[in-house]
């Protein structure tokens, strides 16, 4: 009797093991669920159905780093695996972000080499770009100049005075394919605006031969700027709280600007942020930092939507190998989002 009972228990145990084994095999053959996606750090607001051609519904805003003071001027460096340089203006530093998530100091001081400045002054570098040889171009607020970082680490001054008077605080810059450099010169890096040597805020061009030319002095706070893909138009932001607008200018054969007209006006917007840095993609769409986020416009000036990180961005730039990742410098943080269309970058 005991032997029969023992054999029965043994048989039941074997059947249970066989069932568990078969169940385990079935479960292992089931497709595994994808890992949960992290929540987007911010949102994308659609204003026109055409936005879907620019940003996929699955695109997410990712925060890469934080703890900065006021970030600006991102530029992607393609060398090796690639990395991003960007400015932390009050800290007078250019920082370097690498794809492994590390942030280090690339250059300090970056835009001011004078005596101690008042606390909180916007003294460091702002806009950054690259020339055809891959050399870094730096808009230096505190030292009132545009410089080029040579391969040997020395600085070459491209512009620091106009007609003998010191520039205000060069803010942002963009190259045209003929080698001429366009930059804006608002007064944000001047400690005391009453001490300005120029009585206007200019838009300038440095010719391929190095000649400085004043193109326009009508805007109160000229800031970010970008060319259309065919370089026949120059878009420009005005970061005046009383006149928050983007302008468009025709670019003449000699590089001068004509037929200035309003592209878009956000003066009535009450969200935090002003028209600031901007970039253009290969289809001619504009990505303009402004109230509440990055405003995306079609070439015809239709507002397609807004990328809204949790902090208001001041500038943006195309990164990664395919130039489809938009990196955003937003106050204290660095963010990015994947897009469908590659951008135009130096």
Q: How far apart are CA 127 and CA 170, in angstroms?
A: 8
Q: 116: alpha, beta or left, given left = phi > 0 and alpha = psi -120 to 50?
A: beta
Q: Given this model, what pLDDT does residue 71 score?
A: 98
Q: Given this model, what pLDDT does residue 168 score?
A: 98
Degrees (nearest 5) of the Cα angle 93, 94, 99? 135
Q: How many residues does the chain have?
A: 346
Nearest C-alpha neighbor of 74 from the set 53, 50, 95: 95
Q: How far apart are CA 144 and CA 167, in angstroms?
A: 5
Q: What single DSSP character describes residue 311?
A: S
Q: Given this model, what pLDDT does residue 34 score?
A: 46
Q: 6: alpha, beta or left, given left = phi > 0 and alpha = psi -120 to 50?
A: alpha
E strands of 132-201, at which residues? Answer: 136-140, 145-149, 155-159, 161-162, 165-166, 173-175, 181-185
Q: Terminal CA-to-CA distance of the chain, rounded, Å? A: 89
Task: Say if CB 280 and CB 344 are below 8 A apart.
Answer: yes
Q: How far apart are CA 27 and CA 229, in angstroms?
A: 53
Task: Say if CB 125 and CB 86 are below 8 A apart.
Answer: no
Tokens for 71, please give them. 């970030």
Q: How far apart are CA 3 and CA 131, in angstroms?
A: 90
Task: Identify the three-state secondary structure at position 136.
Answer: strand
Task: Say if CB 328 and CB 294 are below 8 A apart.
Answer: yes
Q: What does residue 22 show for φ and ψ, rounded to 5 degrees?
A: -65, -40
Q: What single DSSP character describes residue 345?
A: -
Which structural domains are found in the chain, ordered by start?
Answer: 40-338 (2.120.10.30)
How, if at all, do strands 286-290 and 278-280 pair? antiparallel
Alpha helix (H) residue ranges in 134-243: none
Q: Given this model, what pLDDT does residue 14 score?
A: 44
Nearest C-alpha neighbor of 186 from the set 127, 131, 117, 232: 127
The DSSP string of 197-208 is: SSSS-EEEEE-T
Per-residue pLDDT of the chain (346 residues; tens, 9 = 90+): 444 444 443 444 444 444 444 444 444 444 454 445 567 899 999 999 999 999 999 999 999 999 999 999 999 999 989 999 999 999 999 999 999 999 999 999 999 999 999 888 999 999 999 999 999 999 999 999 999 999 999 999 999 999 999 999 999 999 999 999 999 999 999 988 888 999 999 999 999 999 999 999 999 999 999 999 999 999 999 999 999 999 999 999 999 999 999 999 999 999 999 999 999 999 999 999 999 999 999 999 999 999 999 999 999 999 999 999 999 999 999 999 999 999 999 8
Q: How far apart are CA 169 and CA 145, in angstroms?
A: 7
Find tokens 């840095």 and name the residue: 277
Q: What is the reported pTM?
A: 0.89
Q: Given this model, what pLDDT does residue 192 score?
A: 85
* Residues facing residue 182 across a β-bridge: 174, 205
Element (H, E) at 48: none
Q: Given this model, what pLDDT does residue 138 score?
A: 98
């Amino acid at each position: 009797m005991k032997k029969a009972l023992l054999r029965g228990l043994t048989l039941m145990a074997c059947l249970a093991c066989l069932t568990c084994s078969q169940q385990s095999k079935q479960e292992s053959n089931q497709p595994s669920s994808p890992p949960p996606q992290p929540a987007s750090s911010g949102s994308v607001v659609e204003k026109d159905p055409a936005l879907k051609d620019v940003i996929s519904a699955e695109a997410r805003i990712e925060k890469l780093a934080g703890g900065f003071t006021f970030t600006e001027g991102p530029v992607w460096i393609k060398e090796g695996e690639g990395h991003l340089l960007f400015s932390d203006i009050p800290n007078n530093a250019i920082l370097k972000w690498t794809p492994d998530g590390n942030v280090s100091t690339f250059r300090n001081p970056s835009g001011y080499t004078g005596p101690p400045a008042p606390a909180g002054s916007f003294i460091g570098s702002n806009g950054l770009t690259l020339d055809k040889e891959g050399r870094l171009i730096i808009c230096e607020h505190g030292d009132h100049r545009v410089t080029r970082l040579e391969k040997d680490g020395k600085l070459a001054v491209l512009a620091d005075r106009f007609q003998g008077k010191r520039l205000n605080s060069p803010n942002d810059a963009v190259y045209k394919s003929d080698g001429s450099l366009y930059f804006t010169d608002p007064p944000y890096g001047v400690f005391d605006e009453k001490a300005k040597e120029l009585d206007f805020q200019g838009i300038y061009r440095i010719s391929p031969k190095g000649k400085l030319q004043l193109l326009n002095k009508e805007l109160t706070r000229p800031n970010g700027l970008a060319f259309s893909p065919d370089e026949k138009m120059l878009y420009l932001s005005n970061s005046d709280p009383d006149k928050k607008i983007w302008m468009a200018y025709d670019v003449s054969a000699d590089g001068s600007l004509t037929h200035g007209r309003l592209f878009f006006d956000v003066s009535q917007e009450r969200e935090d942020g002003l028209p600031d840095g901007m970039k253009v993609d290969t289809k001619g769409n504009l990505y303009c930092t402004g109230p509440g986020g990055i405003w995306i416009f079609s070439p015809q000036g239709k507002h397609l939507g807004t990328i809204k990180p949790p902090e208001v961005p001041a500038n943006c730039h195309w990164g990664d190998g395919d130039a489809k990742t938009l990196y955003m410098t937003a106050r204290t943080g660095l963010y990015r989002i994947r897009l469908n269309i590659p951008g135009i970058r130096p």
